């Protein structure tokens, strides 16, 4: 598959505006790696025939995670509780991509309701990592990551709550960005944890990721959390380099728990950035050690509230029942998988009378401290550097019965989510023949700085 920029340039120059999308849809319809939940080749052909030939993404095929609404298309969040549901409207980010000429070719597999780090929690079976089919692609946006890594599409959308784009991007060897909270409208994203959720892109390279992020960013009156911050020329930012910038390695993200091959790749990345003119420092951020525990109180609490609507009355399956309680019990116990049920129970407990102050409110206080510590660090340096994940892609099934081991996959990604700052994962080498991702965190609204540094890391791998 060509890069998105190359496809759009060719279509603007007069090439067949539907050929790339149709080829991608035909590949996706075969569903390699169980990456896709739904593909309609005829609908793709109809969509491609009317694309905006002059758009920045003219004719570019793109895949959507199964929790993003696109009118008339299935939107099931890879859950049995939404089986058969079709979206009544198109979300803002998706509409902006369509307006720019992109062609949506299908919907990708995911951890049910975005709850997981391996795409093994889908009600429709796990997605396999295209680089090694015995390994997990990460999650919860593993289907989108696999679609890009397999070369089916150059771009895909996922959603980030605590690392659900950056983590699978690292494990699949592609680029994944979490924009600043409020940068991209959440209108059209099925909610998991509303104060954390961000629609986020995958790209085959840094420049494609910069392009698609710019297209879908900007204020949206339909989303109260959307910010009226200017969107810069992020493609141009990719050529800025890092000369004169100060980049700090977070010491809490080194040592115990980080595989030697991952650590070695990060050390090579430090040397690469230093050679490109950056000053490399080391910095300690002690509160980050508590970020994972903080996240796994706040996110399930918000999920407990958001998923209350799946009650068989408003959403969900509606069985025959003899009383009001029975459809609730049946719909939620049969419709939700084990991981979703686990998080609803955890979140409900954290919000219950007598425990909200002890758990949820204390977690919110810790979240403020994490945000303040990160903001103070980024007032002194330009970017923070960590591994995206402590390991390379792990074998399918290896962590399925151990939720804590699965949660630890997000240990380096949750701090940026809690603080609402932007972060990017970019491939930075191999360990055991599998890709390693380097994570850069930046100041709020400074996606340009992330793209500039990520482009330097990317160039150093060629």
Residues labelled catalytic: 65, 140, 164
DSSP 40: -
- Other CB atoms within 10 A of residue 36 CB: 27
Per DSSP (E only), the strands in 90-227 are 103-108, 155-160, 175-178, 198-203
Name the residue among 411, 344, 406 with its Cα closest to residue 117: 406
Name the residue among 53, 68, 49 with its Cα closest to residue 14: 53
SS3 readout for 107-118: EECCCHHHCCCC
Per DSSP (E only), the strands in 8-102 are 36-38, 61-65
List Cα–Cα distances, 425 to 163, 262, 287, 331, 410, in angstroms. Answer: 10, 13, 22, 38, 13
DSSP H helix total and E strand total for the chain: 16, 11
Q: Does 140 sit behind a cis peptide bond, omega within 30 degrees of 0 on the bond before it?
A: yes
List Cα–Cα distances, 304 to 191, 308, 386, in angstroms. Answer: 11, 6, 31
């Amino acid at each position: 598959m060509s890069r998105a920029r190359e496809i759009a340039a060719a279509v603007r120059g007069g090439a067949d505006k539907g050929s790339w999308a149709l080829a991608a849809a035909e590949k996706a319809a075969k569903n390699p790696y169980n990456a896709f939940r739904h593909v309609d080749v005829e609908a793709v052909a109809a969509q491609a025939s009317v694309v905006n030939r002059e758009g920045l993404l003219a004719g570019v095929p793109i895949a959507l995670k199964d929790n993003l609404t696109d009118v008339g298309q299935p939107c099931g969040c890879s859950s049995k509780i939404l089986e058969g549901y079709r979206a009544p409207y198109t979300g803002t980010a998706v509409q902006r991509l369509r307006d720019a000429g992109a062609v949506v070719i299908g919907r990708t597999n995911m951890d049910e309701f975005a709850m997981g780090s391996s795409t093994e929690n889908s009600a429709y079976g796990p997605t396999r990592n295209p680089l090694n089919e015995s390994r997990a692609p990460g999650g919860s946006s593993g289907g989108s990551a696999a679609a890009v890594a397999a070369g089916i599409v150059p771009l895909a959308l996922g959603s980030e709550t605590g690392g659900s784009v950056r983590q699978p991007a690292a494990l699949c060897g592609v680029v994944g960005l979490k924009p600043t909270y409020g940068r991209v409208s959440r209108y059209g994203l099925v909610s998991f944890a509303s104060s954390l959720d961000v629609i986020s892109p995958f790209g085959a390279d840094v420049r494609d990721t910069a392009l698609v992020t710019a297209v879908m960013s900007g204020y949206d009156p339909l989303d109260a959390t959307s910010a009226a911050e200017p969107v810069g020329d992020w493609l141009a930012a990719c050529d800025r380099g890092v000369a004169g910038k100060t980049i700090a390695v977070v010491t809490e993200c080194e040592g115990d728990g980080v595989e030697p091959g991952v650590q070695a790749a990060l050390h090579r990345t430090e040397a690469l950035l230093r050679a490109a003119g950056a000053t490399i420092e080391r910095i300690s951020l002690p509160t980050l050690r508590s970020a994972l525990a903080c996240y796994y109180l706040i996110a399930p609490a918000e999920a407990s509230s958001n998923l209350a609507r799946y009650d068989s009355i408003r959403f969900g399956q509606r069985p025959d029942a003899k009383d009001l309680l029975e459809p609730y019990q049946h719909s939620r116990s049969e419709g939700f998988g084990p991981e979703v049920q686990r998080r609803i129970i955890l979140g409900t407990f954290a919000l219950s009378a007598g425990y909200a102050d002890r758990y949820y409110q204390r977690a919110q206080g810790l979240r403020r401290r994490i945000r303040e510590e990160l903001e103070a660090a980024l007032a002194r340096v330009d970017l923070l550097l960590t591994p995206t994940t402590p390991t390379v892609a792990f074998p399918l099934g290896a962590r399925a019965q151990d939720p804590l081991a699965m949660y630890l996959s997000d240990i380096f990604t949750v701090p940026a989510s809690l603080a609402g700052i932007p972060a990017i994962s970019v491939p930075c080498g191999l360990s055991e023949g599998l890709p390693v991702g380097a994570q850069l965190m930046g100041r709020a609204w400074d996606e340009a700085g992330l793209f500039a540094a990520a482009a330097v890391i990317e160039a150093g791998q060629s």
